[in-house]
């Protein structure tokens, strides 16, 4: 494996710079506790989706998951409709919350498994497969909800996932960090993680080495789907209502985050911590521009510039140029 | 991680600490800040609203009024802007919700923090203190129909178009129009009413051609969605019936200009987003200053001199103005946007 501390250091550096710039623009209120809480509570929904995209990319062979936000909406809408029909969210808040979260994550997992099955068993190219399932998931969500918003309400403990604080940190962010850490550990310490990365690096070798290729693929996309389900839970918890067309812009932003985090589009390499840092960087940048009262078109430009900068850095090993002692030989 | 990385990290932490330390010194918010958040920026409708917000700022130097909006039409993007503005500490939010249901949770949190929340075009929004509507839907439908009747001299066949049968406001408009024709113009005969246009100028054009073939003696069209006048107007124009068949409907001056000039469109009705933006800000300023909203009060904005106040969908109120505008060939140039 190549050394990649450089990418992480750069991401952390960028985050610190953005925090400082935000403080300068806003006269300090950018670093107020309330804004830090506000930003960290906005982060998880897109963060979950970005980790899902990263997992799919790592699987190699053109792996990508375009169905993320569609599946997140389907999980929350379907779960709200199903659970809402059986349990009242006001009378038995606790049962409703638990059932809602479970069903949403299960729907996400099943949707992801469908992706995995189609890709591994039927050998459909991931980009086409997930484009198709994306439309199918959106369609199902429209049908079950009649195209209208579905009310989830604010039953406890679901509402505290959206709005609650744990020692001053939003609960949704704590959940996000915990899940991210779990996946990072899974990738680093289990055979699954090793298989996934090696398979992404060289699928042919993986076949000859006798890896359980199909099972790894299905598990990967199922995990990506579960993350979508979690994103759906967080969206529902924060917004009170869920709707099939929420967050259509998230699709590309999630991919942007993954690429910015140095995940290799050809597969075989990606670090969860970098994805988390890249997600934070995009959040800081967009909040900072809102604080500065700049047009949202500037934000799109800034995101694009940031992405190009990162691509240039990883392509030409600029961090290596700055620290000549550790410069690696060009490939 | 190498020594180098550690140094970079340490440096970053120090820089962050310095930034935090210097924070707070510059906090100086003496004037109340009113943030207008629109559905999407960069389209003519909301550019026009921004001229209203700028006008309001000029007229009211004792507040800070600015407009924000997402670059893409996505409720999630609008939601993030609203959240950032709440965190920034604005005193009032004037929101034109992309999707009222998505904003409920966040607007409630804003109000819990003492932020004044005013909305527009969202009479089903629960978590708002006041929702501003430019006009009463029944009055608007009646006014469109009255203008049509005037052009048709009160007699002949006419029909109606709606965006879709599920569009509540459109059905209210044509419903009020029908009632008006029935009550005041008994010689007007409604044929094949409530055609669905889906706000698609091309589809509307095809449908209008069909109607012109089926009813060669038709004299009038009343349309609802923004693109309907363009489709129906083109059909009338191509049939050489400009000036002979009357067309009154919702539309915007700039796109309709050619057809208004040729006489294919008799008149268009709309409300001016400029004044809607000013009215939202005016109500927000009143609420920030803890003033009460009273039935019949004057907001100091044209079309909102004597507003009607009724109960809203939630705890807030509905503020209904009389901001409808009907323009024809001779007057549309005053409101070109």
Identify which of A162, A239, A326 has the shortest CB distance to residue B102: A239
Amino acid B7: pLDDT: 57
Do B51 and B162 lie in one domain? The reply is no
With beta carbons less than 8 A apart as the criterion, state whether A161 and A233 touch: yes
CB atoms under 10 Å from CB of A46, counted, come to 25
Do B195 and B176 lie in one domain? The reply is yes
Amino acid B147: pLDDT: 94
Q: At what angle do helices A33-58 and A272-291 cross, to 10 degrees?
A: 140
CA distance A278 to chain B (A): 16
Tell me if B2 is assigned to some domain.
no
Distance CA B244, CA B263 (A): 9
In order along its 337 residues, chain B shows pLDDT tens digits of: 455 555 555 555 555 444 444 443 333 457 899 999 998 888 888 899 999 999 999 999 999 999 999 988 888 899 999 999 999 889 999 999 988 888 988 999 999 999 999 999 888 889 999 999 998 889 999 999 999 999 999 999 999 999 888 777 888 999 999 999 999 999 999 999 999 888 788 999 999 999 999 999 999 999 998 889 999 999 999 999 998 999 999 998 988 999 999 999 999 999 999 999 999 999 999 999 999 888 999 999 988 999 999 988 888 999 999 889 999 999 988 888 8
Which residues of chain B neighbour A37 with C-beta distances below 8 Å?
87
Tell me if B329 is assigned to some domain.
no
Do B161 and B117 lie in one domain? The reply is no
Do B59 and B157 lie in one domain? The reply is no
Listed in order, strand segments (DSSP E) in chain B are 33-37, 64-68, 92-95, 116-120, 130-133, 156-162, 188-190, 195-196, 218-223, 246-250, 267-271, 308-311, 317-320, 324-328
Do B51 and B115 lie in one domain? The reply is yes
Distance CA A327, CA B39 (A): 49
CB atoms under 10 Å from CB of A278, counted, come to 28
Amino acid A325: pLDDT: 52
Q: Note if the bond before A157 is cis, omega within 30 degrees.
A: yes
Nearest CA in chain A to B107: A239
Tell me if B316 is assigned to some domain.
yes
Do B194 and B253 lie in one domain? The reply is yes
Amino acid B58: pLDDT: 94
Do B125 and B181 lie in one domain? The reply is no
> Tell me: domain A5-320, CATH 1.10.3470, correct?
yes
Do B312 and B295 lie in one domain? The reply is yes
- A95 at B interface, C-beta within 8 A: no
For chain A, which residues score pLDDT lower than 50? 1-2, 327-331
CA atoms within 13 A on the CB side of A328: 13
Beta bridge partners of B160: B222
- Write the burial class of residue A312 (CB in 10 Å: 0-12 exposed, 13-18 middle, 19+ buried): exposed
- A252 at B interface, C-beta within 8 A: no
Do B142 and B231 lie in one domain? The reply is yes
With beta carbons less than 8 A apart as the criterion, state whether B46 and B256 touch: no
Amino acid B24: pLDDT: 38
* Domain residue spans of chain A: 5-320
CA distance B312 to chain A (A): 19
CA-to-CA dists, residue B110 to B104, B127, B128, angstroms: 10, 9, 10
Q: B88 and A26: CB-CB below 8 Å?
A: yes
Q: A241 and B102: CB-CB below 8 Å?
A: yes
- A16 at B interface, C-beta within 8 A: yes
Tell me if B249 is assigned to some domain.
yes
Which of B254, B270, B286 finishes a domain?
B270
Which residues of chain A neighbour B24 with C-beta distances below 8 Å?
28
Amino acid B27: pLDDT: 39
Which CATH number belongs to the domain containing residue B125 in this structure?
3.40.50.2300
Nearest CA in chain B to A154: B105
Distance CA B48, CA B42 (A): 10
Amino acid A66: pLDDT: 93
Do B157 and B257 lie in one domain? The reply is yes
Do B130 and B277 lie in one domain? The reply is yes
Which domain range does residue B215 map to?
137-270
Identify which of A23, A32, A249 has the shortest CB distance to residue B77: A249
Nearest CA in chain A to B35: A293
Which residues of chain B neighbour A296 with C-beta distances below 8 Å?
41, 68-71, 77, 81
Distance CA A295, CA B50 (A): 13
Tell me if B61 is assigned to some domain.
yes
Amino acid A331: pLDDT: 41
Task: Tell me how many domains chain B contains.
Answer: 2
Do B265 and B164 lie in one domain? The reply is yes
Tell me if B144 is assigned to some domain.
yes
Tell me if B12 is assigned to some domain.
no
């Amino acid at each position: 494996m190549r050394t990649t501390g450089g990418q992480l250091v750069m991401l952390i550096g960028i985050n610190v710079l953005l925090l400082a710039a935000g403080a300068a623009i806003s006269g300090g209120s950018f670093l107020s506790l309330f804004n830090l809480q506000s930003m960290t509570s906005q982060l998880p929904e897109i963060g979950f989706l970005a980790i899902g995209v990263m997992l799919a990319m790592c699987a190699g062979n053109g792996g990508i998951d375009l169905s993320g936000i569609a599946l997140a909406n389907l999980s929350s809408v379907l779960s709200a409709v199903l659970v809402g029909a059986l349990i009242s969210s006001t009378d038995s808040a606790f049962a409703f919350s638990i059932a809602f979260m479970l069903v949403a994550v299960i729907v996400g997992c099943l949707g992801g498994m469908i992706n995995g099955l189609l890709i591994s068993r039927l050998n459909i190219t991931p980009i086409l497969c997930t484009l198709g399932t994306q439309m199918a998931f959106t369609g199902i969500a429209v049908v079950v909800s009649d195209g209208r918003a579905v009310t989830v309400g604010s039953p406890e403990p679901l509402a505290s996932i959206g709005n609650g604080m744990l020692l001053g940190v939003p609960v949704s962010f704590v959940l996000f960090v915990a899940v991210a850490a779990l996946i990072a550990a899974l990738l680093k310490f289990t055979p699954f993680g090793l298989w996934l990365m090696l398979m992404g690096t060289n699928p042919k070798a993986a076949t000859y080495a006798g890896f359980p290729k199909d099972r790894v693929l299905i598990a990967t996309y199922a995990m990506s789907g579960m993350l979508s389900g979690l994103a759906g839970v967080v969206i529902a918890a924060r917004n009170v209502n869920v709707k099939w067309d929420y967050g259509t812009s998230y699709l590309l932003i999630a991919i942007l985050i993954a690429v910015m985090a140095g995940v290799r589009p050809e597969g075989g390499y990606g670090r969860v911590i970098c994805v988390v840092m890249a997600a934070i960087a995009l959040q800081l940048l967009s909040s900072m521009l809102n604080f500065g009262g700049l047009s949202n078109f500037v934000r799109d430009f800034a995101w694009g510039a940031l992405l190009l900068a990162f691509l240039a850095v990883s392509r030409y090993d600029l961090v290596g140029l700055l620290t000549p002692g550790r410069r690696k030989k060009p490939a | 991680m190498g020594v180098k990385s550690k140094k970079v990290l340490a440096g970053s932490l120090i820089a962050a600490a310095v930034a935090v330390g210097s924070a707070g010194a510059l906090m100086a918010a003496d004037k109340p800040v009113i943030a207008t958040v629109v559905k999407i920026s960069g389209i003519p409708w909301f550019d026009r609203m921004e001229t209203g917000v700028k006008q309001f700022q000029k007229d009211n130097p004792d507040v800070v009024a600015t407009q924000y909006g997402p670059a893409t039409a996505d409720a999630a993007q609008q939601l993030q802007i609203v959240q950032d503005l709440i965190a920034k500490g604005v005193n009032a939010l004037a929101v034109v919700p992309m999707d009222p249901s998505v904003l409920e949770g966040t607007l409630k949190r804003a109000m819990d923090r003492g932020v004044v929340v005013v909305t527009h075009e969202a009479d089903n929004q629960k978590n708002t203190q006041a929702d501003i509507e430019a006009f009463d839907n029944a009055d608007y439908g009646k006014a469109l129909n009255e203008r049509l009747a005037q052009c048709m001299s009160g007699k002949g066949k006419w029909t109606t178009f709606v965006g879709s049968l599920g569009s509540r406001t459109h059905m209210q408009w044509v419903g009020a129009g029908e009632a008006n024709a029935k009550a005041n113009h008994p010689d007007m005969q409604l044929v094949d009413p409530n055609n669905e246009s889906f706000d698609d100028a091309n589809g509307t054009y095809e449908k209008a051609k069909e109607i012109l073939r089926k009813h060669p003696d038709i004299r009038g069209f009343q349309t609802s969605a923004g693109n309907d006048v363009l489709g129906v107007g083109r059909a009338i124009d191509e049939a050489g019936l400009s000036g002979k068949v009357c067309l009154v409907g919702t539309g915007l001056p700039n796109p309709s200009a050619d057809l208004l000039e040729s006489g294919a469109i008799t008149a268009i009705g709309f409300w001016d987003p400029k004044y809607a933006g000013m009215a939202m800000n005016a109500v927000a300023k009143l609420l920030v200053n803890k003033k009460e909203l009273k039935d019949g009060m004057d907001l100091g904005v044209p079309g909102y001199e004597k507003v009607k106040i009724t109960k809203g969908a939630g705890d807030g109120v509905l503020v209904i103005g009389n901001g409808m505008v009907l323009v024809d060939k001779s007057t549309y140039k005053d409101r070109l946007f």
